[in-house]
Amino acid sequence: MDETSARPLTPSLQRLADRFRAGDSLALARCITRVENQTGGFEDLLHALHDGVGRARRIGLTGPPGAGKSTLTAAVARLLRDRGETVGIVAVDPSSPFTGGALLGDRVRMDDLATEPGIFIRSMASRGSHGGLATTTREAADLMDAFGFDHVLLETVGVGQSELEVATNADSTVVVLVPESGDGIQAMKAGLMEVADLFVVNKADRPGADRLKKEIEVVQAIRAGSPMAAAPAHHGVDFTAIALAGSNPADDGDDSGGAPQIPDWEAPVLKCTASTGEGVAELVERLDGHFEWLEKTGMLDEQRRLAAIEHTRRVLERAVQRQAATVWTEWIGDDGQSADQVAGSPYEIARRLARRLGPGSEN
Ligand SMILES: Nc1nc2c(ncn2[C@@H]2O[C@H](COP(=O)(O)OP(=O)(O)OP(=O)(O)O)[C@@H](O)[C@H]2O)c(=O)[nH]1
Ligand SMILES: [Mg+2]
């Protein structure tokens, strides 16, 4: 068999794909479950549906636990839906579940959203995610994209590297912080500053919102360097200075031959009260602005290209891991006795087992 060609779908997967393409949201849910559980043939299914990927706008929302990400996600989804657009939502391990209702904001409730046509909500577990959190989450988002949603919103708690990767798989990343508990400092430590295309200071109805907003802006300014400095960092370039000098000081001696300068994106810091919806319209407006900027500058294609390369690497690693697990199980046996029977150093044994890796060891 030609290893480079895709395997045909089994009849039952073919039926599932057909229902998916016909717009059956139950089929979408089944496909996501297959991906989440890594059920046999799930990559063939993803491959078959891959043609439809690439139309949706992807927005990541991340931040510390309890910052109001779900409430904000619901409010953003509501606004987009009211504009006539459709929204898929992937929430990774929400501690306050989307369908719980009681824990969610008063005005916009997720369980109201969940039953609305044009909105599809899916929670994913971060623990025990075999294929890697960023990988399976991306694949769930791809499926929603291929299904035809205009937007895919990805909510993750920004507590670790893999959670941040989920957010950075999006076209635009919103970092949600709250005035209490020194979120400004926490954000810097957790690497949230780096991934933000937009900051939201949520719970602006509580004291300290202005102070947090200022804190974030100060950190941004420090990271960018003084606007009038000779070599500003990649954020916060002062364009009046560039225009006066007639060249981009950030270019570092590279003569761009008079090509028009592309303004850098400086992450705005917005105040929101997600529970009442205040400030959410501006957030959506700024998200539109960021997407326009991505398109105009070519950053959208570039970001997506890099993300696709990274995803390919993870899919390869996952395949090798899966094969290694099969080879290992064959060797160790059900009773786990092989280790005693086979003499030799771990290195010698592992090298010999590695030779068994290959398409034949795929299940
Ligand atoms: N006062 C106030 N409370 C809010 C606001 N937004 C959300 N909340 C409340 O904060 C709590 C947490 O909100 P969630 O939306 O579940 O927060 P989350 O960031 O999704 O939480 P996890 O997913 O568990 O990390 C809920 O009780 C919300 O009602 C706000 O703007 N102001
Ligand atoms: Mg949540």
pLDDT tens digits, residue range 33-74?
999 988 889 999 999 999 999 999 999 999 888 899 999 999
44 and 86 co-located in one domain: no
Residue 104 Cα, ligand 2 centroid: separation in angstroms? 9
77 and 202 co-located in one domain: yes
76 C-beta closer than 6 A to ligand 1: no
47 and 57 co-located in one domain: no
CB atoms within 10 A of CB 61: 28
**Which of 252, 280, 297 is a domain's end point?**
297
**Rg of the Cα trace of the chain?**
24
In sequence order, the β-bridge partners of residue 119 are 87
Which tokens go with 67? 């910052």
Do residues 122 and 149 touch, judged by C-beta distance below 8 A?
no
3 and 81 co-located in one domain: no
Q: Which of 160, 224, 171 is nearest to 197 (CA)?
A: 171
Residues 66, 62, 271, CA angle at the centre, nearest 5°? 75
DSSP, collapsed to helix, strand or coil, labels residue 7 as coil
Residue 276 Cα, ligand 1 centroid: separation in angstroms? 11
165 and 237 co-located in one domain: yes
In sequence order, the β-bridge partners of residue 121 are 89
Q: Ligand 1, closest atom to CA 204?
A: 31
pLDDT bin (cut points 50, 70, 90) of residue 314 is: very high
| Range with the poorest average pLDDT among 125-134, 176-185, 246-255, 353-362 | 246-255
User: Domain containing 2: what range?
Assistant: 1-52
C-alpha distance from residue 272 to each of 36, 69, 163, 221 (Å): 33, 11, 23, 22
Q: Ligand 1, closest atom to CA 273?
A: 31
88 C-beta closer than 6 A to ligand 1: no
pLDDT bin (cut points 50, 70, 90) of residue 228 is: very low
What pTM value is reported for the model? 0.84
Q: Which of 213, 346, 215, 325 is nearest to 270 (CA)?
A: 213
86 and 175 co-located in one domain: yes
213 and 348 co-located in one domain: no
**Which of 274, 297, 320 is a domain's end point?**
297
**% of the chain beyond a pLDDT of 70:** 75
183 and 77 co-located in one domain: yes
Total domains, the chain: 3
